[in-house]
Amino acid sequence: MSDQQEFPDNTAEYTDVEHTETASTEHAAGTELALPGQNLPDKVYIIPIHNRPFFPAQVLPVIVNEEPWAETLELVSKSPHHSLALFFVDTPPDDPRHFNTDSLPEYGTLVKVHHASRENGKLQFVAQGLTRVRISMWLKHHRPPYLVEVEYPKENTAPTDEVKAYGMALINAIKELLPLNPLYSEELKNYLNRFSPNDPSPLTDFAAALTSATGNELQEVLDCVPMLKRMEKVLPMLRKEVEVARLQKEISAEVNLKIGEHQREFFLKEQLKVIQQELGLTKDDRSADIEQFKQRLEGKTLPPQAHKRIDEELNKLSILETGSPEYAVTRNYLDWATSVPWGVFGQDKLDLKHARKVLDAHHAGLDDIKSRILEFLAVGAYKGSVSGSIVLLVGPPGVGKTSVGKSIAESLGRPFYRFSVGGMRDEAEIKGHRRTYIGAQPGKLVQALKDVEVMNPVIMLDEIDKMGQSFQGDPASALLETLDPEQNVDFLDHYLDLRLDLSKVLFVCTANTLDSIPGPLLDRMEVIRLSGYITEEKIAIAKRHLWPKQLEKAGVSKNSLSISDSALRAVIDGYAREAGVRQLEKQLGKLVRKAVVKLLDDPKTVIKIGPKDLEASLGMPPFRNEQVISGTGVITGLAWTSMGGATLPIEATRIHTLNRGFKLTGQLGDVMKESAEIAYSYISANLQQFGGDPRFFDEAFVHLHVPEGATPKDGPSAGVTMASALLSLARNQAPKKGIAMTGELTLTGYVLPIGGVREKVIAARRQKIHELILPEPNRGNFEELPDYLKEGITVHFAKRFTDVAKVLF
């Protein structure tokens, strides 16, 4: 006998229809059906089955493969008893001709074969379960047909009271299962009526067959011959089946209820719509949309082209199906086109007193800016209307550019709309996308007009110097049409494809620097510079605006918390020296938060912040009162940065006299390096004229350094300063103390004008330098400065470098 004898992967299958087709014996096999216990043979052929065990109480069709079971069924049909044994195998082996006899379970079921037939390589027969069967000896096991000698277990036929009770419980559980699962049909009810608690064995087997338990669990029931034990196994399985069926029924009932409610609601709504339309109470979606768009156009003055285009789109909308994609596109277009405030203009408040009051209430200082804005408004008042203009506010961060724009809108009584163009890469954000694209939208300007509902708002384009460029286009160039007074009368938005008159819009742009703004765009704007604030202005801003704002933000009353003027000055000098007031606002917020912590501990306390309290709350001040560096070869220059003005010391020293040479350090840009070369060449060539040894540079290796090497520096305005440092070194004479300078130097010794005079003067005041050298061409810029900036400052204007040398030495 081979140890490795296997089953086929197509071991016998019987269709899993015990829930529907477990029928009465009369239905299944006609007159040939046998009764259990009659003519039980000693020797039978066996066939393994693999989906689930077959029970004695079942009558079911079984399907097997013609190869290798045809011979087995042939022999069964010739036998006098027409019976064979079905044994359950959990995993069918690959080859049916060899299998391990030890893998068969202890018990199988003896079945009588009825109505065998052959079709498409399959054999089908009806199996009538008779009784449990156990193999006592293998007679033929090498290959099918397999023949065995069998024995039949003896069951106790006299049921006890306990067995009867279990039988009743099984019948009740089956009756519970019937209404919960429609798969159990009428035949099953008839079958159940034939069972009684006095015949418990078939009842128990039938109950087990009803469950959806696994094959191995059912085999355990088949292997269990003692009646009571078998019933104890089957009852929990059946109860579990009842619970699962009940749960499934509840879930389906809940789902059906929800679906039913939604369907009912939907049908009622649709009926209501039809009834309302029939009675003329409401219109359908299309009519409602068309009416809404026509209402929006009432009171607006449309140009003929726009009127014609919108009428065409309304006609198109009236014939399109509401469900079509084209309907949605057309509806979206009309939604935008009718939202534009065609011909609607707001009334300007051209009252200069009101405008001055608004500007003074919102801003301390900035007198030159306010006067420029008032001049601009005065022209509008004289003419009767402020026509569209483009103002560009340039200045360091935190000086109040955005809030100046808001003040202009408030003083005019116009709505204000702000959007940032910083980082914008796509020109479609200005001019809109064409309608052919999915998700197309009009540009920001059309969106602004829709929001403000007038054609003459104040529109702020923030961070205009930080616009990007990409393969999608150049938004700065797209702004040319928007901001050019000659072109924006007929501004074309790609989405609407209609001409819009933007000539009445007042555009206010903001930027930190002018370097990155394209020339043609800059040419169309009126530039107003906002320089940094001096300490006195910052104190006024802090007292009037920033401190009250921080107190309000924290919900603290001014009686509980106050700050002295000297403490404010100390915060400005030690912690917030930048040109704007944003850093100052942050530091004041920090002071308020620290004070709130103390107020929580003792709400009745009154806190007064003085200069001595600052270090405890804000830490060590990052800015110290620096000594202006002085000595031979050291000159203080004045520089302009995007954060405002700054002082810039420049140092020159001789390293050795072995050979001629010139070395530059500090993070300098190309223009600044060229300025240094020019200064070196000029002083070398003209040293005798300035009272120095003409041979000094012939044998000196000179090092010129601009401190703060981590900060990038560029620009021509340090030329005069560098030349002065080199001259001081060559004459071995320290320059006059307490003096700072700026100016571009030429190779022939002329001093050329520079920019940022205001910022540089403020930087000098901050460092308590009161004597300056400026280029003669910048005299006008200095004279324009407000008196409080010029007060106490002595300025020498230089045409040539000789003028500079006279003042210094």
| Residues assigned a catalytic role | 717, 760
β-sheet bridge partners, residue 492: 499
CA distances from 371 to 378, 528, 539, 755, 788 (A): 10, 11, 22, 21, 16
Annotated binding residues? 395-402
Query: What angle (nearest 5°) sits at the alpha carbon of residue 113, between those of residues 131 and 227?
Result: 10
From first CA to last CA, the distance across the chain in angstroms is: 124
Measured distance CA(776)–CA(752) in Å, rounded:
8
Annotated binding residues for ATP? 395-402
Question: How many Cα atoms are found within 13 Å in the side-chain-facing hemisphere of 640?
Answer: 20
Q: Helices 186-194 and 161-180 sit at what angle, rounded to 10 degrees?
A: 170
Q: Helices 285-297 and 304-319 sit at what angle, rounded to 10 degrees?
A: 170
β-sheet bridge partners, residue 722: none
> Identity (one letter) of the amino acid at 456?
N
Cis peptide before 41 (omega within 30 of 0): no
Query: What angle (nearest 5°) sits at the alpha carbon of residue 72, between those of residues 71 and 73?
Result: 90
Measured distance CA(227)–CA(213) in Å, rounded:
19
Contacts of 382 (CB under 8 A, 6+ apart): none
Measured distance CA(543)–CA(45) in Å, rounded:
108
Contacts of 361 (CB under 8 A, 6+ apart): none
Helix (H, G, I), strand (E, B) or coil at 480: helix
Measured distance CA(303)–CA(134) in Å, rounded:
101
Query: What angle (nearest 5°) sits at the alpha carbon of residue 249, between those of residues 246 and 254?
Result: 130
> Identity (one letter) of the amino acid at 678?
I
Cis peptide before 68 (omega within 30 of 0): yes
Measured distance CA(736)–CA(424) in Å, rounded:
50
Query: What angle (nearest 5°) sits at the alpha carbon of residue 41, between those of residues 40 and 43?
Result: 150
CA distances from 19 to 16, 110, 520, 528 (A): 8, 21, 87, 91
Task: With beta carbons less than 8 A apart as the criterion, state whether 47 and 83 touch.
Answer: no
Helix (H, G, I), strand (E, B) or coil at 344: coil
Query: What angle (nearest 5°) sits at the alpha carbon of residue 387, between those of residues 381 and 388?
Result: 135
**How many beta carbons lie within 10 A of that of residue 805, not counting itself?**
22
Measured distance CA(595)–CA(613) in Å, rounded:
11
Measured distance CA(598)–CA(485) in Å, rounded:
57
